[in-house]
C-alpha cells in the first residue's frame, strides 16, 4: 500500500480546468491514475487509470464546473492498482474526498481501532484513514482545525493531503514535512506537491510548513500552524523525484543536483575522457561532475521520451523491457573513450547493469560509474516505493560487490555528508541511506 503521488487543490474560478493543467505538470509524480474531485452541492469525482490525458479527454471537465477542486496523480504497487484518487469515503454521516501523497506508518492498527468502533472502510489504501480520522474528529470537535490537530496526534507517517467535504477544502502537511507541498496565491488559492505546477497560475509561491493547515471555502482562506516536529524532508525529492525547476523548502532542485555532481567529483575523481549522464535525472549531476573535474560533458545516451520512468513501474518484467526500449548509446560519443557515467542513484541495479553493457557494446574502452547519492540500503516507509531490502543491490555487501554486479571498471557513491552539503540543509530524511528513521513517524 505504498504510494508516490502528486496532489493539487484550489479555490479559484474554473478550478477543474486548472486542476487538469496542474496534473499535467505533476505527471512525473505518478502515471498510473489521475483524478479530480469538485464541490457542486456534493462531491463529484472523475478519475481513472492511466495518464492525465487518458483519463480526461475533454467532456469530463465540463461536468466538473466549480470553484473548489482537489486532484491527484498516482502510481502504486501492483496490489492496489485499481485504486484511484481522489478517493471518496464516508464516516459519521459525512462524505469526503481524499487526495494524499505519502504513506501512513500506523495505518493497520489505527484502521483496526476504527473498525472496532463501527467504522466501515471502503478502500484498501491507507489514504482513506486520513478522511475517516478527520471526519471522526470533526464530529467530536465541530471545528476543522481542531479535527486536524487530532489527526496529527494519531495518524503517523508521511502525508501531504487535500480533503474535500461540505463545500470546503482542507490542505495539510504532516508535522515532519516528509513530502513537499507548496502554496501560491493570486487570483485564487492554489496548492501543489511542487511549486513548478503552481507557477502555471501564480508568480509568488511558498512552502506549506510542516504541521500547517489551510481551510478553503467560499468565504476565503484561513490557515493555522498546528503542530511542528523536527523537519525531515525526503532527500530523494532532491535526488530524483522532483522536477528540476521546482523549489523545495527553499532549495532549487536543479542547483542541488549540480552541486551533488560537484561534490561527487571532489570526493571520487575519475580518469575519463568524457562525462555522460543517464538521462534525464542524472543530467544535472553529470554537468556538475564535468564542471568540477574539467572532463567534457556530452550526450552519450539518448532517451526515448515516450517510455515512462523505469523505477516507478510495477513488476520486474515491465522494468527490464522498458530499459531496453528507453535508452540507446551514441557510438560517436563513447567509442574508444574512457567514459564517466553519472546517475542519480542505483536501486536494483538492473538498469545500470544494462547501460554499462550497452556502452561497452557501443565501443566504450572503460566505464567508470559515479552515483550522485549514497547507496540505498534500507526500505522506505514514508511514501516511496522501495519495497524490500533484498531487492536493493547495495543493501548487503559493499561498493565492490555492486561494481562487480553492474560490470563497471570503477564505482563510487556520494557520501551522506557530501549529499547534505549539496542540498544545503541538515533537516532531511535520510532513512533509506542510513537506516535512521525519523522518530515521530513511528511514535504510536
Ligand atoms: S526513507 Fe528515503 S525515500 Fe523514504 S522519505 Fe526518507 S529519504 Fe525519502
Is 5 catalytic? The answer is yes
Ligand 1 pocket test target in 101, 104, 105, 234 with most atoms within 8 Å of CB = 234
In whole angstroms, what is the distance from residue 367 CA to residue 52 CA? 38
Atom 4 of ligand 1, residue of closest alpha carbon: 380
In whole angstroms, what is the distance from residue 261 CA to residue 287 CA? 7
Q: Quick check: CB of 392 below 6 Å from ligand 1?
A: no
Distance of CA 164 to the CA centre of its chain: 22
Burial class (CB in 10 A: 0-12, 13-18, 19+), 398: exposed
Q: Please give the span between the terminal C-alpha atoms of the chain, in angstroms, as a whole number.
A: 19
Residue ranges covered by each domain of the chain: 3-229, 252-440
Q: Quick check: CB of 178 below 6 Å from ligand 1?
A: yes
In whole angstroms, what is the distance from residue 134 CA to residue 201 CA? 29
Q: Name the CATH code of domain 252-440 (choices 3.40.50.2020, 3.30.70.1150, 3.50.50.60, 3.40.50.300).
A: 3.40.50.2020
| 178 CA from centroid of ligand 1 (Å) | 8
Q: Quick check: CB of 295 below 6 Å from ligand 1?
A: no
Q: Quick check: CB of 248 below 6 Å from ligand 1?
A: no
Tell me if 164 sits within 8 A of 7, measured CB to CB: no
CATH homologous superfamily for the domain 3-229: Aminohydrolase, N-terminal nucleophile (Ntn) domain (3.60.20.10)
Q: Which atom number of ligand 1 is nearest to the Cα of residue 430?
A: 7
Half-sphere exposure of 1 (CA within 13 A, CB side): 16
In whole angstroms, what is the distance from residue 444 CA to residue 433 CA? 23
Q: Which atom number of ligand 1 is nearest to the Cα of residue 234?
A: 8
Query: What's this model's pTM, rounded to 2 decimal places?
Result: 0.93
β-sheet with 43-49: strand ranges across = 43-49, 33-39, 68-76, 3-11, 189-192, 182-185, 205-207
> Residue 126 has which C-alpha cell?
491507507
Q: Quick check: CB of 429 below 6 Å from ligand 1?
A: yes
Q: Quick check: CB of 55 below 6 Å from ligand 1?
A: no
Ligand 1 pocket test target in 239, 382, 426 with most atoms within 8 Å of CB = 382
Residues 6+ apart with CB under 8 A from 225: 209, 211, 212, 213
Half-sphere exposure of 340 (CA within 13 A, CB side): 29
| 11 CA from centroid of ligand 1 (Å) | 31
In whole angstroms, what is the distance from residue 288 CA to residue 266 CA? 10
| 383 CA from centroid of ligand 1 (Å) | 8
Q: Which atom number of ligand 1 is nearest to the Cα of residue 438?
A: 6
pLDDT of residue 283: 96
3-229 and 252-440: identical CATH topology: no
Of these residues, 5, 234, 380, 432, which one is catalytic? 5
In whole angstroms, what is the distance from residue 354 CA to residue 338 CA? 18
Omega of the bond prior to 85 within 30 degrees of 0, cis? no
Instruction: Give the residues of the chain that fall short of pLDDT 70.
Output: 1-3, 76-81, 307-324, 387
| 237 CA from centroid of ligand 1 (Å) | 9
212 φ/ψ angles, rounded to the nearest 5 degrees? -90, 145
Ligand 1 pocket test target in 430, 431, 434 with most atoms within 8 Å of CB = 431
Q: Quick check: CB of 384 below 6 Å from ligand 1?
A: yes
pLDDT of residue 383: 82
Q: Which atom number of ligand 1 is nearest to the Cα of residue 428?
A: 7
| 435 CA from centroid of ligand 1 (Å) | 10
Amino acid at each position: 500500500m505504498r504510494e508516490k503521488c502528486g496532489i493539487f487543490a484550489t479555490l479559484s474560478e474554473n478550478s477543474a480546468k486548472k486542476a487538469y493543467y496542474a496534473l499535467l505538470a505533476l505527471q512525473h509524480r505518478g502515471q498510473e491514475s489521475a483524478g479530480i474531485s469538485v464541490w457542486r452541492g456534493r462531491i463529484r469525482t472523475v478519475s481513472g487509470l492511466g495518464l492525465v490525458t487518458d483519463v480526461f479527454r475533454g467532456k469530463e471537465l465540463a461536468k466538473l464546473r466549480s470553484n473548489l477542486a482537489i486532484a491527484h496523480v498516482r502510481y502504486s504497487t501492483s496490489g492496489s492498482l485499481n485504486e484511484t484518487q481522489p478517493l471518496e469515503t464516508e464516516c459519521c454521516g459525512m462524505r469526503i474526498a481524499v487526495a494524499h501523497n505519502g504513506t501512513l506508518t500506523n495505518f493497520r492498527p489505527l484502521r483496526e481501532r476504527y473498525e472496532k468502533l463501527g467504522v466501515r472502510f471502503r478502500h484498501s489504501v491507507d489514504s482513506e484513514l486520513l478522511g475517516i480520522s478527520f471526519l471522526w474528529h470533526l464530529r467530536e470537535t465541530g471545528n476543522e482545525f481542531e479535527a486536524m490537530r487530532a489527526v496529527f496526534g494519531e495518524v503517523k507517517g508521511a502525508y501531504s493531503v487535500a480533503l474535500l467535504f461540505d463545500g470546503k477544502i482542507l490542505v495539510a502537511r504532516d508535522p515532519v514535512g516528509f513530502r513537499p507541498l507548496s502554496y501560491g496565491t493570486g487570483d485564487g488559492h492554489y496548492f501543489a506537491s511542487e511549486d513548478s505546477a503552481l507557477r502555471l497560475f501564480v508568480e509568488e509561491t511558498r512552502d506549506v510548513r510542516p504541521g500547517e493547515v489551510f481551510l478553503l471555502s467560499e468565504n476565503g482562506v484561513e490557515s493555522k500552524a498546528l503542530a511542528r516536529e523536527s523537519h525531515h524532508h525526503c532527500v530523494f525529492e532532491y535526488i530524483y523525484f522532483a522536477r528540476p525547476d521546482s523549489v523545495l523548502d527553499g532549495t532549487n532542485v536543479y542547483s542541488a543536483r549540480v552541486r551533488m555532481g560537484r561534490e561527487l567529483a571532489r570526493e571520487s575523481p575519475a580518469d575519463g575522457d568524457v562525462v555522460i549522464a543517464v538521462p534525464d535525472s542524472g543530467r544535472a549531476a553529470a554537468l556538475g561532475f564535468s564542471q568540477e573535474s574539467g572532463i567534457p560533458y556530452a550526450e552519450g545516451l539518448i532517451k526515448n521520451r515516450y517510455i515512462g520512468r523505469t523505477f516507478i513501474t510495477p513488476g520486474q518484467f515491465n522494468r527490464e523491457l522498458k530499459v531496453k526500449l528507453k535508452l540507446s548509446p551514441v557510438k560517436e560519443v563513447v567509442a574508444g573513450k574512457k567514459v564517466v557515467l553519472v546517475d542519480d542513484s542505483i536501486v536494483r541495479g538492473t538498469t545500470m547493469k544494462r547501460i554499462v553493457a550497452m556502452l561497452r557494446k557501443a565501443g566504450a574502452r572503460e566505464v567508470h560509474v559515479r552515483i550522485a547519492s549514497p547507496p540505498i540500503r534500507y526500505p522506505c516507509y514514508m511514501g516511496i516505493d522501495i519495497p524490500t531490502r533484498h531487492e536493493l543491490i547495495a543493501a548487503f555487501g559493499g561498493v565492490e560487490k555492486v561494481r562487480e554486479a553492474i560490470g563497471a571498471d570503477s564505482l563510487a557513491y556520494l557520501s551522506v555528508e557530501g549529499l547534505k552539503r549539496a542540498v544545503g540543509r541538515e533537516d532531511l530524511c535520510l532513512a533509506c541511506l542510513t537506516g535512521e528513521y525519523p522518530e515521530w513517524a513511528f511514535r504510536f
